[in-house]
């Protein structure tokens, strides 16, 4: 493998795995925030206790996933400089700003507030505690926004001017309102909520299928999960389709290669536009990923629509095969979201910044040996993390709320006298 | 404006060295502490908020100094990869250790490795940046074994790792229950001494001409003095049981490496040797970009400092190790 292949494999594998964590994190956090809010504002103590238990159980599932998401996310922040220093050389003036703002506006707050939320049970006032999880949810989506502004610039560069071989930011407003970023944000948001909703509904249904003891708790989360998944999956398809007119304009080869029509014509047009080069794309990759999204999206949308109706009198979980069907749906949004990611990024090739900088030109001068070692190491660690993540999530999801550790305070004897530390 | 962003970059990295530094230190000491749950519990509420300083540093590095970002990270490739591997493994292990019933030993090994590897590599990076890196005509550079395995760079690696370890010990002495605190205090006293010894070695090598080549010796000398004072103060306070003073002293000591690289080599952000290298002006983003970033920065930085301070205040009391 050449250095370029290794660097691409490293980026694709690490980002792809990171993305699987991200989409569940984004999907679960608003659901956990809703649960926490309901728990905090329920008057009836028995009901409030069930809802708080619900929040802690789903909160811990969310946290396990967040842990690996944030750990892999640290690597993401460094990747551009490590293997793609040509990007900062060419587009640093433009591309760096959204990344810097993402860390300062969103990520800093998300992590700090989440740390406070985890350890705030029984320690912070209820209103403050609930506000914290909403701030975490808000900043998670703010994070997604800034990352997509950076990614949108790669897909469809706007608001810049090239002088002496480097891009300069000329229109910040255009950069942050790039349609390639905004529509993608809407699509990704809905995809994440679908993933989170299906996950919550599927795990809840599992407990009904296995004769759950905590029916009140799981009835509540099942309802919330099914409703979120139904609404989100309905709109995710619509917003997904809204991107086609834009793509036809900005990335014509993507559509031509997927439909396998007019590839030669687009190639000729791109040759004229950007000079010699091979601008064709692997149509099979694009078709498979698009089909995965379409089929999975439509199926989930249909099933959850029926499921919402069947929520009445618990019909959905009374008949076991139906409950199992809900559980079996859990992996599919992830498959679809990987499809979406492949479609977006494979379809951008051979460009790193569309029309301006090719992937090959952006590669750092790093030795092939160093790349091979780092590539193998990162992939091994990331796969191990994915396996750990899903093993731990599955285990806790099956054991149920009894196994929750989040918010279970075990004050030490000497802890009653508070020791000032800072 | 470039100076403002350089100062901000320095603030973020200093913040990481102080806050992430004690995380790494506590991880390093993990096997030696009897009550391991309590040791991790002491840093638990701040753990997520501490790591962010590094990510923010990288974000700002890319946003405000893109030309430094590209050549620095790719030039230090093996070390940066090692740091990242250590952080990923360590972070996950710290947070997931209590999610399983079995395999505690594995998690422990990963926690210690995830503290040691980044701590040593940060020291090596500091050593390389103080010594100067071999930049090529196109601005890129690659470090290899020849640059890393020099007495000075290795001394810096050991020194910074020991510094983080003693900082972690001072943090545990401050925040844990009496038993653990006494143990941490004793370990801390020894570690501060060892860190000092390694730092003295690095200083001697520099005086012999095979160590750091500083652009501003006049700034570097008082900074070295500050490090020496902080270490002596830390040692003295730890051995007398002044826990707050000891922690304040190790905080000062962990910031010095960042200040040495930043102020000692100013105006170069990536020195090849004393008085040469990539200057702040060459590294910085275009004026328009910096202007926009500044508009956000003046609001964001105070906000960030405020909510971080709030989180320290809210969890000032010792925590029961209830989750990590």
Angle between helices A45-83 and A215-250 (to 10 degrees): 30
Does a structural domain hold residue B163? Answer: yes
Distance in Å, alpha carbon of B200 to nearest chain A alpha carbon: 30
Gap between the Cα atoms of B163 and B167, Å rounded: 6
CA closest to B98 among chain A residues:
A405
Q: Which of residues 275-314 of B touch A (CB under 8 A)?
A: 285-286, 288-289, 292-293, 296-297, 300-301, 304, 307-308, 311-314
CA closest to B311 among chain A residues:
A116
Q: What is the mean pLDDT of residues A202-219?
A: 90
Does a structural domain hold residue B259? Answer: yes
> Residue B174 belongs to what domain range?
2-314
Angle, CA of A26, A27 and A31, to the nearest 5°: 115
Q: Flag whether residue B96 sits within 8 Å of chain A, measured between CB atoms.
A: yes
CA closest to A173 among chain B residues:
B292
Query: pLDDT (tens digit, 9 = 90+) per residue, A337-379?
Result: 999 999 999 989 999 999 999 999 999 888 899 999 999 999 9
Does a structural domain hold residue B321? Answer: no
- Do the Cβ atoms of A411 and B320 come within 8 Å? yes
Contact in structure between A316 and A323 (CB atoms under 8 Å) = yes
Token pair belonging to B275: 């008085």
Contact in structure between B323 and B96 (CB atoms under 8 Å) = no
| Confidence check: pLDDT of B224 > 60 | yes
pTM: 0.93
- Do the Cβ atoms of A81 and B51 come within 8 Å? no
Contact in structure between A74 and B84 (CB atoms under 8 Å) = yes
Size of interface A-B (CB pairs under 8 A): 252
Per-residue CA distances from A41 to A25, A44, A215, A218, B172 (Å): 24, 9, 21, 19, 38
Gap between the Cα atoms of A221 and A214, Å rounded: 11
Does a structural domain hold residue B223? Answer: yes
What is the DSSP code (8-state) at residue A376? H
Q: How many helices (H) and strands (E) does chain A have?
A: 16, 4
C-alpha B197: how far from chain center: 19
Q: Residue A366's closest CA among A90, A79, A14, A15?
A: A79
Task: Give the CATH number of the domain where residue B204 resides.
Answer: 1.20.1630
- Give the list of residues 6+ apart from residue A53 with CB closer than 8 angstroms, or none: A214, A217, A401, A404
Query: pLDDT (tens digit, 9 = 90+) per residue, A299-344?
Result: 999 999 999 999 998 888 888 899 999 999 999 999 999 999 999 9
Rounded mean pLDDT of chain A? 92
CA closest to B96 among chain A residues:
A64
- 3-class state of residue A122 by DSSP: coil
Does a structural domain hold residue B323? Answer: no
Gap between the Cα atoms of A64 and A66, Å rounded: 5
| Terminal-to-terminal C-alpha distance of chain A | 53
Q: What is the mean pLDDT of residues A234-252?
A: 94
Does a structural domain hold residue B320? Answer: no
Domain count for chain B: 1
pLDDT in the model for residue A77:
86
| Confidence check: pLDDT of A204 > 60 | yes
* Cβ density class B285-296: b for 16+ within 10 Å, e for less: bbebbbebbeee
Nearest beta carbon to residue B51 from set A94, A111, A119: A111
pLDDT in the model for residue A203:
96
Does a structural domain hold residue B16? Answer: yes
Does a structural domain hold residue B56? Answer: yes
């Amino acid at each position: 493998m050449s250095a370029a292949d290794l660097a691409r494999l490293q980026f694709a594998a690490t980002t792809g795995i990171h993305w699987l964590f991200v989409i569940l994190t984004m999907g679960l956090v608003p659901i956990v925030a809703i649960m926490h809010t309901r728990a905090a504002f329920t008057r009836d103590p028995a009901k409030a206790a069930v809802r708080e238990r619900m929040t802690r159980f789903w909160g811990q599932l969310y946290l396990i996933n967040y842990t690996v998401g944030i750990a892999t996310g640290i690597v993401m922040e460094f990747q551009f400089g490590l293997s793609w220093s040509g990007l900062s050389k060419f587009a640093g003036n433009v591309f760096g700003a959204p990344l810097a703002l993402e860390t300062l506006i969103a990520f800093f707050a998300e992590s700090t507030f989440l740390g406070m939320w985890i350890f705030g049970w029984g320690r912070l006032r209820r209103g403050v505690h609930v506000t914290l999880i909403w701030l975490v949810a808000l900043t998670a989506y703010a994070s997604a926004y800034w990352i997509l502004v950076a990614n949108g610039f790669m897909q469809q560069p706007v608001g810049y001017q090239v002088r002496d071989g480097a891009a300069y930011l000329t229109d910040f407003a255009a950069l942050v309102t790039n349609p390639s970023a905004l529509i993608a944000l809407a699509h990704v948001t809905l995809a994440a909520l679908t993933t989170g909703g299906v996950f919550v509904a599927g795990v809840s249904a599992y407990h009904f299928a296995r004769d759950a003891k905590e029916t009140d708790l799981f009835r509540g989360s099942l309802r919330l999960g099914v409703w979120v998944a139904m609404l989100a999956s309905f709109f995710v398809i619509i917003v997904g389709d809204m991107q086609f007119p834009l793509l036809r304009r900005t990335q014509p080869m993507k559509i031509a290669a997927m439909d396998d029509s007019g590839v030669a014509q687009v190639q000729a047009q791109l040759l004229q536009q950007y000079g010699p080069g091979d601008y064709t794309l692997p149509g099979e990759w694009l078709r498979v990923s698009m089909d995965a999204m379409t089929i999975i999206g439509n199926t989930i949308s249909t099933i959850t629509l029926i499921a919402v109706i069947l929520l009445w009198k618990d019909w959905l979980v009374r008949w076991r095969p139906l409950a199992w069907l809900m559980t079996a749906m859990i992996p599919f949004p992830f498959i679809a979201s990987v499809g979406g990611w492949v479609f977006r990024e494979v379809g951008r090739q051979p460009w790193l910044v569309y029309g301006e900088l090719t992937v090959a030109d952006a590669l750092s001068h790093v030795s092939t040996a160093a790349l091979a070692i780092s590539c193998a190491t990162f992939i091994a660690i990331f796969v191990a993390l994915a396996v750990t993540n899903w093993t731990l999530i599955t285990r806790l999801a099956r054991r149920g709320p009894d196994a929750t550790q989040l918010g279970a305070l075990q004050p030490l004897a000497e802890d009653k006298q508070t020791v000032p530390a800072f | 404006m470039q100076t403002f962003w350089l100062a901000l970059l320095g603030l973020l990295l200093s913040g990481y060295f102080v806050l992430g530094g004690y995380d790494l230190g506590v991880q390093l000491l993990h096997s030696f502490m009897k009550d391991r749950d309590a040791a991790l519990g002491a840093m638990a509420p701040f753990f997520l908020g501490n790591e962010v300083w590094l990510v923010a540093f990288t974000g700002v590095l890319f946003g405000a100094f893109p030309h430094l970002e590209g050549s620095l990270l790719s030039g230090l490739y093996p070390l940066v990869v090692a740091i990242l591997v250590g952080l990923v493994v360590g972070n996950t292990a710290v947070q997931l250790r209590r999610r399983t019933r079995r395999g505690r030993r594995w998690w422990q090994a990963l926690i210690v490795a995830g503290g040691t590897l980044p701590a040593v590599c940060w020291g090596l990076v500091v050593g390389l940046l103080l010594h100067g890196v071999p930049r090529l005509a196109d601005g890129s550079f690659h470090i290899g074994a020849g640059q890393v395995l020099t007495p000075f760079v290795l001394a810096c690696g050991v020194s910074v790792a020991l510094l983080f370890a003693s900082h972690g010990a001072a943090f545990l002495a401050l925040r844990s229950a009496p038993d653990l605190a006494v143990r941490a205090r004793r370990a801390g006293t020894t570690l501060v001494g060892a860190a000092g010894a390694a730092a003295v070695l690095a200083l001697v090598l520099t005086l012999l001409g095979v160590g750091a080549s500083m652009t501003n010796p006049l700034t570097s000398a008082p900074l070295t003095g500050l490090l020496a004072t902080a270490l002596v103060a830390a040692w003295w306070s730890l051995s007398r049981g002044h826990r707050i003073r000891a922690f304040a002293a190790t905080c000062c000591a962990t910031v010095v490496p960042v200040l040495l690289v930043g102020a000692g080599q100013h105006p170069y952000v990536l020195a090849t040797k004393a008085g040469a290298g990539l200057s702040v002006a060459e590294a910085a983003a275009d004026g328009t970009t910096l202007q926009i970033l500044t508009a956000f920065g003046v609001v964001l930085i105070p906000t960030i400092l405020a909510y971080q301070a709030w989180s320290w205040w809210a969890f000032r009391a010792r925590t029961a190790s209830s989750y990590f």
